[in-house]
Amino acid sequence: MVHYLRRSGIYIGERRLQRVLKKFGLQIKPRKKYVRTTDSKHGHLTYPNLLPEMAVDGPNQVWAADITYLRIVNGFIYLAVIIDLFSRKIIGWQISKNIDGQLTQDALDMAIKRRQPKNGVIHHSDRGGAVPLPKLCPET
């Protein structure tokens, strides 16, 4: 709240703000700090996890994907990232105001364009909300 007041031109210290709130019987309601990025209760097709029995010993064998959110002044933006599990390098990413299939598709498109993998790469995610993905790359 101190930061909000300072941005509004009201300069007050934390302790003084606490005393003022206490004097008037007010409490600050904390902001919700968690934004849901996974919905595992869906009817979309899911695939078994192939990673426990697999040893990753080279690039473009397994790509892992995830979505997170970043707090900005007026809300949140979402970040989709794809990393190569062998090199631990980010190979695709996208930022959007919306958490939807296009966000993840754009990150995947960037990874494919940058790496041009052969067939057989495993695209691993937390299996949350899903959209059908096209065939990753042409037969080679």
* 45 and 7 assigned to the same domain: no
* 76 and 122 assigned to the same domain: yes
The pLDDT assigned to 38 comes to: 64
Q: 78: which 2 tokens?
A: 């979402």
Q: Which of 117, 108, 71 is nearest to 90 (CA)?
A: 108
82-112 pLDDT tens trace: 999 999 999 999 999 988 889 999 999 999 9
* 100 and 77 assigned to the same domain: yes
DSSP letter string over 1-26? -HHHHHHTT----HHHHHHHHHHTT-
Nearest 10 degrees: CA dihedral of 43, 135, 50, 54? -170
Provide the domain limits for residue 66. Answer: 34-140
The pLDDT assigned to 99 comes to: 86
* 55 and 17 assigned to the same domain: no
The pLDDT assigned to 45 comes to: 73
* 75 and 124 assigned to the same domain: yes
* 8 and 53 assigned to the same domain: no
The pLDDT assigned to 3 comes to: 82
Low-confidence spans in the chain with pLDDT less than 50: 129-140
* 85 and 23 assigned to the same domain: no
14-24 pLDDT tens trace: 899 999 989 98
Total number of domains constituting the chain: 2
Q: What is the pTM of this model?
A: 0.62
* 57 and 14 assigned to the same domain: no
* 1 and 46 assigned to the same domain: no
Q: Which of 72, 117, 68 is nearest to 93 (CA)?
A: 68
State whether the Cα torsion 133-92-60-86 is positive or negative.
Answer: negative
* 75 and 103 assigned to the same domain: yes
* 38 and 20 assigned to the same domain: no
The pLDDT assigned to 42 comes to: 67
